[in-house]
Structure 1
Amino acid sequence: MASPIFTTERLIVRPLLQADLPWFVELEGDPEVMRYTDRPAQTPEQSTFALLELAGRRELDGQLCLWAVVNREGEGLGTAAVYRNDDQQWEMGYKFHRYCWGQGLASELAEALVGYLQQPLKGETLHAFAFSDNVASCRILEKCGFALVREWFNPDYQLLDRHYQLTFSE
């Protein structure tokens, strides 16, 4: 197993590995999970290509860091992402398999991710986006100290989109 980026009480966040392919393809291909993202459900080919391109990445280098989120037994539960978006803003995101929803895992991950990012992003602003109908993620971001800075109608998805941000002190 790859060495962890960080851990929480129940979670290990580590680089994606090629061995993660089965659960990663399932996660990325689940339309219910992906409806809360800016992408449709991915085909197995798309997911395989993405995993092979991103496997093993540890450091924040301005590129997409997509990390595996696994439980203490090593079972793949979801992913955490940190990257510079199209506007060159630091952005974070996460997603979990549906069977993980409602267990507090996303809150645990988001709090730890914000804590992990405080030092490398010192003085920077971290951004996150959530659809307004994803009430759980909106609550999690607010609980982690993110402020809602903009809400608008997203015509691509026919719903309200929310932009949150959190500035790390110097």
Structure 2
Amino acid sequence: MNQLKYQPLHESHANDLLAIWSDEDVIRYTNIKEPCSLQEINERIQILKSFDVFIVSNGDGVIGIIGCPCVDKEKGQYGVFYQFRKSSWGQGYATMATDWLLNYMRNKYNDVTFFADVVTDNVASEKILKHFGFNYISEEDGFERNGIKMKIHNYRLCY
């Protein structure tokens, strides 16, 4: 398996993210309502780059994005998200990247609590969270997709 590399999110990654955030299969489990344009990607980058968000690449180039936006800095609470190119699904990359990210965050911050929410149909993503010991805390109605309210499972992991 290829070694993964992590780079802080930067404006120069916009074209690479186009292949991720404009793919309907990738975004169907996210709150991104429709495929993003390059301008919308640049707007997202401006918001996300101030957090602990990283581009994930291997020998084939950029394969994903992963990060921990701050929820409450004083309480040490951070969200966890990951999105990968469809061509990289099922190869363990999201699990490896999540392992790297959780270690990075634990080393950078003390007493970290992570939160993640997952569309209930996203079995692979829930499997990753459970692998790392995230605990299910609740279910709620989430965003709407094609007129259907998506059910969301909320998870928490404390260190």
After TM superposition, the score normalised by the length of structure 2 is 0.83
2:135 alignment partner in structure 1: 147
Displacement of 1:9 in angstroms is 6.3
Alignment of 1:6-85 (within 5 A): 10-40=3-33, 41-51=35-45, 53=46, 57=49, 63-71=50-58, 73=59, 75-85=61-71
Pick which of 115-124 and 25-34 moved more: 115-124
Task: Provide closer, same or farther for how the CA distance between residues 15 and 154 of structure 1 changes in structure 2, counting only shifts above 3 A.
Answer: closer
* d(CA) in 1 for partners of 2:23, 2:152: 21
* d(CA) in 2 for partners of 1:85, 1:114: 15
User: What letter matches 1:27 in structure 2?
Assistant: I
Structure with bigger strand share is: 2
Gaps of 5+ in 2: none
* d(CA) in 1 for partners of 2:54, 2:47: 9
* d(CA) in 1 for partners of 2:103, 2:44: 27
Alignment of 1:126-141 (within 5 A): 126-141=114-129
RMSD: 2.5
Gaps of 5+ in 1: 1-7, 58-62
Pick which of 157-166 and 142-151 moved more: 157-166
Say which of 164, 167, 170 aligns to 2:155: 164
Aligned length: 153
Displacement of 1:120 in angstroms is 2.5
Deviations 1:76-134 (A, max 9, x none): 10101211248984101010000011111111111221122112232131111111100
* d(CA) in 1 for partners of 2:42, 2:130: 33
Contact between 1:131 and 1:162, CA under 8 Å: does it hold in 2? yes
Displacement of 1:39 in angstroms is 1.7
* d(CA) in 2 for partners of 1:141, 1:47: 26
Contact between 1:131 and 1:159, CA under 8 Å: does it hold in 2? yes
User: What letter matches 1:28 in structure 2?
Assistant: W
Percent identity (aligned):
24
